[in-house]
Amino acid sequence: MEVFNAPAPDFSCERREASTVTPQVFSLFHSKASYARALALAARVVKETPTDRAAIERCFRLTCGRVPGEDEVAACLAHWNKCQAEPAPHRAHLCPTAAGSASRGHRGKHRRKVFLHREAARQRGLRARLAAGDVLAEVCLVIFNTNDFAYVY
Amino acid sequence: MSPSTPYFPCAGARALHAPTRREFLYGLGASIGSLAFTSLLRAEEKANPLASHAGHFPAKAKNCIFLMMEGGPSHIDTFDPKPKLAELHLQEFVRAGQQKSAMESGQRYYVRSPFAFRKCGQSGADMAENWQHLAGVADDICFFRGGQVDSVNHPTAMYQMNCGNRFGGDPAIGAWVTYGIGSLNQNLPGFIVLPEVSYPQGGAANWSNGYLPAHFQGTPLRSKGSPILDIDPPTGITREHERANLDLLAQLNHAQQARHPGQDDLAARMDNYELAYRMQAQVPEVLDLSKEDAKTRELYGLGQDATDSFGRKCLLARKLVEKGVRFVQLYNGTWDSHDYIERAHGNLVRGVDQPIAALLTDLKQRGLLESTLVVWCGEFGRTPDNGVRMGTAYGRDHNPKAMTMWLAGGGCKAGHTIGATDELGMEAVEGVAHVRDFHVTLLRLLGLDDNKLTYYHAGRFKQLSQFGGKAINGLIA
């Protein structure tokens, strides 16, 4: 809150100052808090939508309350693909799906094997989309930083 | 963040897009000639607003370091000795009824200064003896004892000293200066503020851009811990990746800007992302004081309990100015010593004496003092008397009628003391000048004409001095 002029506790503050300074950029673009929200949005959106295009559109609906223009969708899709193509996973240490899931359920070796097999088959599609969601978080982070989202008219 | 402040466009510069009712009515007066003028303005607007450009006069000062002693330092106990007070000590003082402050209560009595004074340097400048280090650079300083302000309360007096207007909401001096002559370094903000952990009374409005475009507002650096939070991207994020993210951001923002043209907040916000990207490369090096040699660190008093905090600020200010940052404002205090002036002012002077002397010495040895205007002041001075608060505590009240400010470097009249207060230090009586004249003088020293440095807002051209002032020629070499 400090970089957004949180008032000091020792004086009354009848009005908060609006400001636009570079330390705010760093907070909004680099902080764990921002990225956590971007991950959460991405995870929600990939679960709710069947295709990449629909995911981007859903992002804009949820953040800016509008349907994105064709050029905006194209730009976001291109960025998403570009990030996916990059060799090392971004922010892998922060991503829940990329970090791998811990084993759960334990009813004997065989049953566990069957369970995992079925589970894998069932979730294959979703899992792929969740991994894609980690990368989509990069797009979400950018959307959170747009003037459109940050300013209300 | 909130939408931009209500904005009344200059000569209909923005009226051609998405006109509001007010803009439409305003635009009715426009002729073909003004249309051409409008397009000229538009072209100018697209240029980098922080690019360095010439002022109105040739000037020695290129940069300014403004040392703001928040709370109101006592001129009587620092640079303006009043021996008469020793005679009157503890005698009852009766007020004429003017300038009563909210802090005033009960019976009042004169208080002598607990500090002894001596003459310093070739110029024989008056300084209390506890200014041990500053005495060594006395001849580089121009003292001004004629200053007066209008407000007896802190936030309003702070706003007036910083922005010219007691009610706040106007641009700060640093905003006016960067608006007037831009900044020399495009990889750092042009106007940087080094506040205390707790912001001064009046808060961030003390370094506001006011009605000027948002590019000119002061950027505060934190005084404890990392100066800028999260300046480094998380591990695993490469500069190329950051660039790609920014490119997408710019693409999305451009689409939105087309829908809301002329919103300077939005434009400034976009520019800030690009500045942030450039800053990442330069800022860690500038902010890292550990690379300074031991001699320099010792000069500024780094590592010493009393001087470390303000010493860091002064050293950082020197580095920023060296890198071409136009205006740096440092905060110290609070100097609001209503009680126990000996202990309170004693500690405050101990905290800033060595760092400020080091700053002047360091600027001088690097050949930067000529081109850097250093300003020292508070928002007002203090009274020769005190009210009875919890017994006899030897403090001082607020005094807008008398104060000491000083300048160094940047073409000021070093080695002189200008103006005088009465024999009690109650009121300026010689070379009296309102704060607006002081502002005009600062701008003049930086090559700017207050009457020409204007911005059209709310139906008239506004300026730092509010409605014009007169340069104090005695302060200019």
Which H, E and C letters describe chain B, residue by residue? CCCCCCCCCHHHCCCCCCCCHHHHHHHCCCCHHHHHHHHHHHHHHHCCCCCCCCCCCCCCCCEEEEEEECCCCCHHHCCCCCCHHHHHCCCECCCCCCCCCCCCCCCEEECCCCCCEEEECCCCEEEECCCCCHHHHHHHEEEECCEECCCCCHHHHHHHHHHCCCCCCCCCHHHHHHHHHCCCCCCCCCEEEECCCCCCCCHHHHHCCCCCCHHHCCEECCCCCCCCCCCCCCCCCCHHHHHHHHHHHHHHHHHHHHHCCCCHHHHHHHHHHHHHHHHHHHHHHHHCHHHCCHHHHHHCCCCCCCCHHHHHHHHHHHHHHHCCCCEEEEEECCCCCCCCHHHHHHHHHHHHHHHHHHHHHHHHHCCCCCCEEEEEECCCEECCEEECCCCCCCCCCEECCCCCEEEECCCECCCEEECEECCCCCCEEECCEEHHHHHHHHHHHCCCCCCCCCEEECCEEECCCCCCCCCCHHHEC
What's residue B41's pLDDT? 46
B245–A142 CB contact, under 8 Å: yes
A19–B208 CB contact, under 8 Å: yes
Nearest to A30 among B199, B230, B253 (CB): B230
What is the count of residue pairs from A and B with beta carbons less than 8 Å apart? 149
d(CA A123, CA A101): 13
- A3 interaction partners in chain B (CB closer than 8 Å): 229
The answer to whether residues B314 and B359 touch, using CB atoms and an 8 Å cutoff, is yes
Given CB atoms, is A84 within the 8 Å cutoff of chain B? no
Shortest alpha-carbon distance between residue A112 and chain B (Å): 35
Nearest to B268 among A20, A29, A88 (CB): A20
Shortest alpha-carbon distance between residue B159 and chain A (Å): 14
d(CA A47, CA B16): 44
Nearest to A71 among B208, B255, B275 (CB): B255
B189–A35 CB contact, under 8 Å: no
d(CA A72, CA A85): 20
Nearest to B214 among A20, A88, A90 (CB): A20
The answer to whether residues A119 and A104 touch, using CB atoms and an 8 Å cutoff, is no
- A91 interaction partners in chain B (CB closer than 8 Å): 234, 236-237
A29–B276 CB contact, under 8 Å: yes
- Whole-angstrom CA distances from A64 to B237, B286, B449 are 26, 38, 45
pLDDT tens string, chain B, 477 residues long: the values are: 343 343 333 433 443 445 555 445 555 544 444 444 444 444 444 468 889 999 999 999 999 999 999 999 999 999 999 999 999 998 888 766 555 554 556 678 899 999 999 999 999 999 999 999 999 999 999 999 999 999 999 999 999 999 999 998 899 999 999 999 999 999 999 999 999 988 899 889 999 999 998 889 999 998 777 788 888 887 778 888 889 999 999 999 988 888 777 777 788 888 888 888 888 888 888 888 988 999 999 999 999 999 999 999 999 999 999 999 999 999 999 999 988 999 999 999 999 999 999 999 999 999 999 999 999 999 999 999 887 665 667 889 899 999 999 999 999 999 999 999 999 999 999 999 999 999 999 999 999 999 999 999 889 999 999 999 999 999 999
B251–A75 CB contact, under 8 Å: yes
Nearest to B266 among A22, A86, A151 (CB): A151
What's residue B241's pLDDT? 86
Given CB atoms, is A4 within the 8 Å cutoff of chain B? yes
Report ipTM (2 d.p.).
0.74
Shortest alpha-carbon distance between residue B176 and chain A (Å): 16
Q: Nearest chain A Cα to B213, which residue?
A: A20
Which of B191, B230, B253, B263 has the highest number of chain A CBs within 10 A, making it the mutation to test binding with A? B230
Tokens 């608006």 — which residue? B179
Given CB atoms, is A5 within the 8 Å cutoff of chain B? yes
Given CB atoms, is A121 within the 8 Å cutoff of chain B? no
What's residue A118's pLDDT? 58
- The DSSP bridge pattern shows strands B455-457 and B191-194 to be unpaired
d(CA B124, CA B242): 57
pTM, two decimal places: 0.83
